[in-house]
Amino acid sequence: MRATMISICLFFMANASQAGDIEFYSRKTDEYWSVYGYAGDDGRQASCSGRTSYKDGSYIRIFRSLTNGDVVVDVYNILWNMAPNTTGTLRWTVFGDGAAYDANLKYKVISFYGKNILQIGGLPEKEFFNTIANAKYFTLTPNNLRSITSHFQNKGDSMIGALMECIRQNEGKYRKTSAPAPNNSPNNSPNNSGGLKEITEQVEDALPPPADGSLTTADGMGLRFVYHYIPPRNPDLVYAYRWAANSHLFSNIPEIVRKDGIFVLSRQLHYATMECGITNAFYSPENAAVVMCYEMIDQLRKIGQELSKGMSDPEEFTREFILSNVRFFLLHETGHAFIHLLDLPAVGREEDSVDQLATVLLLGGYAAQQSKHNIARVLQLASVWFGINSRSSPDMRDYADVHSLNAQRYFNILCIAYGTDPEEYRGLITQGYLPRERAAGCPVEAENIRRSWYRLLSPHFSPAVINVVSKNQNSAAGNKQSKNPLEWDKKPNPFGNQ
């Protein structure tokens, strides 16, 4: 990510306590960060900002102006002795998920309410937000002074998600018509989606949440999923919105539909497609929402088009590639949602665990139009994503990341698939996708994973599901007891293994 310093006036880089400010947004996104939206009482300046503070009074704030689209970072460290109006260069290093970032950025020191604050401007919104969203933590070190480090509880996507929500909800009110639009897109205005509206839907038999706050509905099911398709502001992403909404994306993913209402969740779980300002799919604990960003769909489309060159039907392959990976990503994020909403214990790396759950959910049942071959194809294309995004020479940041290396995730998916049904997936061995040495232990590994997830999830079945399971178990026991042990159909050896 690159950034150039521009001359910046102090355009409402205001403290929350400044007199006359109007607060229109406030949300604590994790243990470290909070997001605020403030406007001057004359409405001429307004911004959304993410802030983290330290006990000694130091702080970092990431601002996005709602009036002109500028992205600015303010940093104050009580240990830095800098004179106002001086300039310099700092080193910004990000450690996290995927988007590695290590760059030298220019800054200017400004005086604000008696404090000398280091200010970085001219940051490209989309690229910068995407980097922070994938960050576990970052450090800023100006002019060889002592660095200041900022952490995120999980990743920065929680803070960036709230920041983008603040922007979406309020930018139309404060943006100046003469100001350049974000991402240098002259058509990227709040009304450029042609009157498209948010679509909210559920499955037909879903009952509303009880008025008394109960976590199960009158039919004995858990709170039902809610699906949202939110129009983007960027016209280049309208096609992704229409594809998701017109295809009823969420209600046509079998694994999501099969899990709808079968658990007693602590809150209603939402699924949403939306413009995020970053290329990502994530779970938002604050909103109990699994989010698929249109930017991710767009990137998958570009990769699919590149991979489809020379194929007999490149358009069909691209569609298949997008849907397969969206399906896996959504199941991965659903795993995060279940861990949060069911308060499941985590005894290992959560990212590995939800990769496992996504694979087990795909392999655990087959819908009427989903054969084993169909599922194998979904897993093949999902694993291709990890293969493409694997770096040949991982560095320290990759090893320290909350995710396993993409190459490891690739082989873990293949191992679970092979271990679940060695005959169906024997081609993984014969065609050299999965080393025989790893494959030898995959049946035991896959069964342990499947059994562990069942033991974690089954105590949270809704009453309706428990009744069905009990009836099936009683029916199976009755059928077994009703068979006379002396009965023989003249085919097997009567003294053979039972």
Question: Which DSSP string corresponds to 274-336?
Answer: E--SSS-EEEETTTTEEEEEHHHHHHHHHHHHHHTTT-S-HHHHHHHHHHHHHHHHHHHHHHH
pLDDT in tens, 116-133: 788 998 888 888 888 888
DSSP letter assigned to residue 95: E
As a whole number of angstroms, the distance between CA 249 and CA 243 comes to 8
**Bridge partner residues of 117 (DSSP):** 110
What is the number of other CB atoms lying within 10 angstroms of the CB of residue 300?
22
Q: What is the pTM of this model?
A: 0.58
Q: What is the CATH number of domain 22-160?
A: 2.60.40
Look at the block and give the residue holding tokens 């308060």: 343
Q: Would you say residue 450 has pLDDT above 80?
A: yes
Most confident of 41-45, 75-79, 309-313: 309-313
Q: Would you say residue 144 has pLDDT above 80?
A: no
Report, as an integer, the average pLDDT of 429-436: 86
As a whole number of angstroms, the distance between CA 244 and CA 266 comes to 27
The alpha carbon of residue 420 and the mean position of all alpha carbons in its chain are separated, in whole angstroms, by: 27
pLDDT-derived band at 376 (thresholds 50, 70, 90) equals confident
How confident is the model at residue 420, as a pLDDT? Answer: 82
DSSP letter assigned to residue 215: S
149: left (phi over 0), alpha (psi -120 to 50) or beta: beta
Percentage of the residues of the chain whose pLDDT score is greater than 70: 77
Report in angstroms the alpha-carbon separations of 414 from 36, 421, 460, 481.
44, 11, 29, 40
How confident is the model at residue 351, as a pLDDT? Answer: 79
The arrangement of strands across the sheet holding 289-293 comes to 199-201, 226-229, 270-274, 289-293, 281-284
Report, as an integer, the average pLDDT of 320-342: 91
> What's the full length of the chain, in residues?
498
Residue predicted with more confidence, 406 or 375 = 375
Secondary structure (3-state) at 424? coil
Buried b (16+ CB within 10 A) or exposed e, 328-364: bbbbbbbbbbbbbbbebeeeeebbebbbbbbbbbbbe
Of residues 452, 412, 226, the one with CA closest to residue 337: 226
Secondary structure (3-state) at 487? coil
Of residues 191, 231, 164, 180, the one with CA closest to residue 67: 180
pLDDT in tens, 46-74: 889 999 988 777 889 998 988 778 889 99
pLDDT-derived band at 403 (thresholds 50, 70, 90) equals very low
Domain boundaries, the chain: 22-160, 189-392+401-460
Task: Provide CB contacts within 8 A for 142, sequence distance 6+.
Answer: 80, 82, 88, 89, 90, 91, 107, 118
Q: Which two tokens stand for residue 7?
A: 């001359």
How confident is the model at residue 268, as a pLDDT? Answer: 94
Q: Would you say residue 467 has pLDDT above 50?
A: yes
Q: Are 247 and 255 in contact (CB under 8 A)?
A: no
As a whole number of angstroms, the distance between CA 205 and CA 211 comes to 18
Q: Would you say residue 17 has pLDDT above 70?
A: no
Q: Which two tokens stand for residue 361?
A: 């959910």
pLDDT in tens, 217-256: 999 999 999 999 999 989 999 999 999 999 999 998 888 9
As a whole number of angstroms, the distance between CA 108 and CA 5 comes to 8
Residue predicted with more confidence, 54 or 342 = 342
Average pLDDT for the chain: 78
Q: Would you say residue 307 has pLDDT above 70?
A: yes
* Helices (runs of H) and strands (runs of E) counted in the chain: 14, 15
Q: Would you say residue 446 has pLDDT above 80?
A: yes
How confident is the model at residue 190, as a pLDDT? Answer: 37
